Amino acid sequence: MRRAYFKNNWVAALMVAPQLIIVFTFFYFPTSQALYWAFTLEQPWGGGNTWVGFDNFTAILSDSLYWASIWVSVVYAVGSTALAVGMALLLAIFADRQLAGYKLYKIGLIWPYAIAAPAVGLAFRFIFTPGAGLMMFVNQMFPHLWNPVDNGNQAMAMVIIAGAWKQVAYNFIFFLAGLQSIPRALIEAGAMDGARVLRRMRDIQLPLLAPTFFFVLVINITDSFTDSFGIVDTMTAGGPSRATNIMVYKIFNDGFQGLDYSGAAAQSIILMILVIALTFVQFRYIERKVHYT
Amino acid sequence: MIERTPLLNIATHLILAFGLIMLLLPMYLVVVAASHSLQDVISVPPNLLPGDQLWVNLQEAWAKGHLGQRFVTTFIVAIGVMTGKVVLSCITAFGIVFFDHRLKMPIFWAIFITLMLPLEVRIVPTYAVAANAFLPFQTLLDLSGITWLVNAASGVQIKLEWNLLNSYAGLIMPLVATATGTFLYRQFFLTIPEELVEAAKMDGAGPLRFLWDVLIPLSRTNIAALATIMFVYAWNQYLWPLLVVTDQSYAMIAVELSRLVPKFSATGGEVPKWHIAMAGTVIVMGPPIVVVVFMQRWFVRGLINTDK
């Protein structure tokens, strides 16, 4: 493709320079630094880092606490993603029928996305606290039924619900946009062939929504690995007894509370690889699916 | 569409209303708790109707969390991130799309890759950079031997240092270092017909004139979309400000909010002041909700175009 270009490359250099400097300083350098730390160990009395090869990784991977943290992250990822994606899909596909009140439903289902993760966390911590409000009432009716302060599974359930609640709005926006980009003619043709509303949803809209669905799925999983910090920190601080100690939280704790930079860096690298792998899967899949619609 | 489906319509409304209630109920409970005294919040059976203490609690939360000052700080950071993103990504995309040079694609990819790794993943090393923003350049100089050369030649030891902890620059710059905006502008710039560029050149306009008089007016929608997203994104930041800020005068609002109740623990202790905490939550949620509701169109558009 030929385009008309400006010739003055000095201007171009000036235009891209600020962004490149920032990206280098706050992205590439830190990332390479993480690699460096992951393969070295800081000397206790200063005097630089010594090369230790894969020792940091072996140490982490043989640590049962790390595997527990991975397990917790996976449970959180699967739980919150399934809940948020399922709910958003159901709401989007019915909202897309655009019956009366459509505008109201739309804004009503979008606004939670604006709320900060710690605010969501705090709100749900209050709602689920056995010491006040609804849950206190429930506990008086059925003593000892609900106590996330002691019960790890309940704490996890509470964090998953809060995380999913925050994510529903985001998914809803994407599903609705995806549904609205499906050519109207296809749905009309379906209707003309005698397919009723639910049949059209199943056989036309849902299959054509597949690329959006996959995209949203991957974004949700990635977000649950990274964006969940605010919710976990305000709700459970990783407890009780590490039952909600997701990977980002463990990195934060080991790095900033435990001051184990090498260990935290090695964990960061593993998390980075996970996130990059997910992103690649997403790109590949979307590339392939794009021709389909 | 064309057929009459009264039963299905009722079902549709029921499903949507159910969804709406699921999303609204938690925030309703927050507002209710914010409008009672602590005594009423922890009473059984629970109060499900709003009380009359809302204003009192809001004032107490405002004073107790120093939210007035935090509001100003958060606002400055949000505006900073928003402006930084809007301006930087615009000129970067301009430099990539409208000039013909060999480094075009490498630069695009170098920036695009940053989409993959959010700040949370590389938090530990980024913190080290924030402690000294010149560290990357110092390292480059050290590795390339320039430090040694200069030292040998003039006896001056190069020591670059710029501490970003507890500063607006430290809060803002790492949040700007991602590709979201650049990608959005690039996609849009690629759709601009080349006749426009030719016409501008024929009229004797240089690249900067073209950027200012043609591209920016055409990008207004994109700018609004990106600005909305970035404002909300920056306002809601939690992990990064938690780390870079130790001096309370730079504390951001979301971090301050979490300090209104003691950390979750099994040891118990005193009853958290839920009514104040919930009033604080209401205050913190306010501005981004207002932005999203009033800028809904731009917000939705920005969200969809930046991530894809």
CB < 8 Å to B116, chain A: 275-276, 279
| Contact check, Cβ <8 Å, A34/B272 | no
For residue A174, give the chain B residue with the closest CA: B304
Residue A97 CA from chain centroid, whole number = 28
Tell me whether residues B12 and A99 touch, CB distance under 8 A: yes
CA B237/CA B175 separation, integer angstroms:
9
Contact A90 B42 (CB under 8 A): no
pLDDT number for residue A81: 94
Residue in A12, A30, A225 closest to B95 by CB: A12
Enumerate the residues of chain B whose CB falls inside 8 A of the CB of residue A105. Answer: 16, 19-20
**Minimal CA separation from B76 to chain A, in Å:** 17
Return the structure tokens found at B282: 């209401």
Question: Hey, what long-range contacts does A203-206 have (CB within 8 A, 24 or more apart)?
Answer: A205/A93, A205/A96, A205/A179, A206/A93
Least Cα separation, residue B177 to chain A (angstroms): 5
The alpha-carbon gap from A98 to the nearest alpha carbon of chain B, in Å, equals: 9
Q: Tell me whether residues A19 and B257 touch, CB distance under 8 A.
A: no
Q: Any residues with CB less than 8 A from the CB of A2 and at least 6 apart, and which? A: B194
Q: What is the model's pLDDT at position B1?
A: 59
Query: What is the pLDDT, as a whole number, of residue B308?
Result: 41
Name the residue facing A25 among B122, B133, B238 (closest C-beta). Answer: B133
Which residues of chain B have a CB within 8 Å of the CB of A174?
A: 303-304
Evaluated on CA atoms A59, A63, A69, A72, the torsion sign reads positive
Q: How far is CA A189 from CA A42, A177, A183, A211, A284, in A?
A: 67, 21, 10, 22, 31
Q: How would you write the pLDDT of chain B (308 residues) with one tens digit per residue?
A: 567 888 888 888 999 999 999 888 888 888 888 888 777 777 777 777 777 788 888 888 888 878 888 888 899 999 999 999 999 989 988 888 888 878 888 888 888 888 777 787 788 778 878 877 777 888 888 777 777 777 777 777 777 777 888 888 888 888 887 777 888 888 888 888 888 888 888 888 888 888 898 889 988 888 888 888 889 889 888 888 888 888 877 888 888 888 887 776 655 556 778 888 888 888 888 888 888 888 888 777 777 776 54
Instruction: Give this complex's ipTM.
Output: 0.84
Q: Note whether B116 contacts A23, CB cutoff 8 Å.
A: no
pLDDT mean by block of 10 residues, chain A; 293 residues: 71 87 86 83 65 81 87 92 94 87 85 88 86 77 78 88 91 89 86 86 87 85 85 83 85 82 84 84 63 40
% of chain B with per-residue pLDDT over 90 = 6
Do A26 and B129 count as a contact with CB atoms less than 8 A apart?
yes
pLDDT at A291: 42
Q: How far is B152 from chain A (nearest CA, A)?
A: 22
Q: Tell me the shortest Cα–Cα distance from B154 to chain A, in angstroms.
A: 26
Question: Chain B residue with minimal CA distance to A121?
Answer: B258
Q: Are A131 and B271 in contact (CB < 8 Å)?
A: yes
Count of CB atoms within 10 A of residue B8's CB? 16
Q: Do A136 and B197 touch (CB under 8 A)?
A: no
Q: Which residue on chain A is closest to B10 by alpha carbon?
A: A99
Instruction: Find out whether A128 and B30 touch, Cβ atoms under 8 Å.
Output: no
* pLDDT value at residue A55: 80
Half-sphere exposure of A14 (CA within 13 A, CB side): 6
d(CA A227, CA A79): 15
CB–CB of B124 and A226 under 8 A?
no
Size of interface A-B (CB pairs under 8 A): 333
Phi and psi at B161, nearest 5°, equal: -150, 135
- Residue in chain A lying closest to B85 (CA): A19
What is the reported pLDDT for B267? 53
Q: How far apart are CA B271 and CA B131, in angstroms?
A: 38
Q: What does the pLDDT read at residue A293? A: 37
**CA-nearest residue of chain A to B296?**
A107
| Angstroms from A154 CA to nearest CA on chain B | 14
